[in-house]
Amino acid sequence: MAKRRNRRRFYPEFYTDEELKRRENVSAGVGAGENTEKNENINNINIEESMQEAMDEVMEIIEERTYETEIPAVPQHSEFEPEPENELNNEIKIEIPAHMYIKEMTDEENIPENPEKAENEPDIPVFAEMPPQLPVSENENIETETKPEIEIAPTPGIISFDREKAIEYAKRWALDRNPDYYNFEELGGDCTNYISQILLAGGCKMDKSSPVNGWYYNNANDKSHSWTGVEQLYDYLVRDKERGIIAAEIDLNEVEAGDIVQLSFNGKTFQHTPFIIDSKRAPSGEVSYDTIKICAHSFDSENRSLDTYQWKKIRFIRILGYK
C-alpha cells in the first residue's frame, strides 16, 4: 500500500478522476477549510479509537491477573444470625488411654523410708510408661498370703542359697554402710555393691577367675566388674559357667523373698538393683507390684513397696545356688 501511494505521488496516471479533481480543488484553495476540518475530525476519531483499544487491552490484562487471586466475599451476618458451622470447629478429639498416664503416688507413698537421708537423696527419675498392674477395688479386701519357698531339687555339685541369711543382711545394712566394703555412692551408685554383699552373706563364694568374667571383691581398686555393675552382674549370674553363682530370670508371679529385681529407667539399659525381702500374693497365686517389698542402696530404702518406682523395663532374677 505504501508503494502504491508513492507511485501515485509521482505518477498522476495512478489517480482516479475523483482524486485528481480533489487535488485540483485543494491546490486552488477550494474547500480547503472544509477538508482541513474533516481531516482534524478524522484524526481525533482515530486517536480516540486507539486510546480506547489500548485501555481495553490494559483492562483485559488487569482482569486476567486479578481473576486468579480473587478472594470470595465473606457473607456478612448480623449479630442475631448464628455463625455457619465450620469444618475446622468439628475436629476429632482423641482421648489418651488412662494406662498411658504417668503413675501418680499418694502422699503416703511419697514419704521417704528414711527421713534423715531424704535431703541428701537425688530425685528419682519419672517416666511415663509403667508395666500393667492388677486392678484392685478400693472396697475389696484381698487376703494375701506369703508364698512358701520354692523347693529346688538338689543338683550334684550345687550348694543351696541361704535366703534367710541374705534377707537378714539386707535389712541390717539397708540404711547404713558396712565398713568392710568401700561405699561407691559417689562413683556411680552403691546398689549393686550392696547386692553383691547380700549374695556373699547368703553363702555364695567369690569367683576370682578374672575381673571381666569373675565375681569378687578385695578392695575398691581390686574387684570384678560384676561386683558393682548392674548389667555386668546380670550377665555373670545368668551365664553358663563351670564355677560360680547359678541363677535364672523368672516371671512376676514366681517372685518370692530372696530374689533380685533390676529396673531400667530409660528403656535402654538397666540402672538399679534392689533386693526383695518380702512378697505376698492373692489366693489365686497372682503377685502385684505393690505387694513386693525391697531393700536397696542409692535411694536407700528398707521395706519399700516396689510400685513406688517408675520404670520402663523390669526383670527378676532367682539365685539357684553356687558351685
- pLDDT (tens digit per residue) in 22-51: 766 655 555 545 555 555 566 666 666 777
Q: How far apart are CA 271 and CA 233, in angstroms?
A: 11
The answer to which of 107-111, 217-221, 236-240, 261-265 has the lowest mean pLDDT is: 107-111
Grid cell listed for 205:
563364694
Contacts of 98 (CB under 8 A, 6+ apart): none
Confidence band (pLDDT; 50, 70, 90) for 253?
very high
DSSP 309: S
For residue range 104-133, what is the model confidence (pLDDT) as tens digits? 334 444 444 444 444 444 444 433 333 333
Grid cell listed for 51:
486510546
Kindly provide the b/e burial profile for residues 209-241, where b requires at least 16 CB atoms within 10 angstroms of the residue's own CB.
Answer: eeeebbbbbeeeeebbbbbbbbbbbbebbbeeb
Contact 200, 166 (CB under 8 A): no
Q: How far apart are CA 133 and CA 153, in angstroms?
A: 32
**Confidence at residue 307, expressed as pLDDT on a 0 to 100 scale:** 95
> What mean pLDDT do residues 157-185 have?
96
**Confidence at residue 117, expressed as pLDDT on a 0 to 100 scale:** 44
The answer to which of 38-42, 85-89, 200-204, 261-265 has the lowest mean pLDDT is: 85-89
Q: How far apart are CA 297 and CA 182, in angstroms?
A: 13
pLDDT above 70 for 262: yes
Mean pLDDT of the chain: 74
Maximum CA extent, the chain: 150
Nearest to 230 by CA among 186, 194, 272: 272
Using CB atoms within 10 Å of the CB of residue 66, give its burial: 0 to 12 exposed, 13 to 18 middle, 19+ buried. exposed
Q: How far apart are CA 37 and CA 43, in angstroms?
A: 10
With a pLDDT cut of 90, the percent of the chain lying above it is 48
**Confidence at residue 114, expressed as pLDDT on a 0 to 100 scale:** 46
**Confidence at residue 320, expressed as pLDDT on a 0 to 100 scale:** 94
> What mean pLDDT do residues 140-144 have?
39
Name the residue with higher pLDDT: 267 or 47.
267
**Confidence at residue 196, expressed as pLDDT on a 0 to 100 scale:** 98
Contact 20, 28 (CB under 8 A): no
> What mean pLDDT do residues 240-259 have?
95
Contact 273, 265 (CB under 8 A): no
Task: With 0.75 as the threshold, say if the pTM is over it.
Answer: no
Contact 248, 317 (CB under 8 A): yes
Confidence band (pLDDT; 50, 70, 90) for 56?
confident
Contact 190, 183 (CB under 8 A): yes
Confidence band (pLDDT; 50, 70, 90) for 245?
very high
- The domain locations on the chain are 2-56, 106-135+145-322
User: How would DSSP label each residue in 128-142?
Assistant: S---------TT---
**Confidence at residue 34, expressed as pLDDT on a 0 to 100 scale:** 53
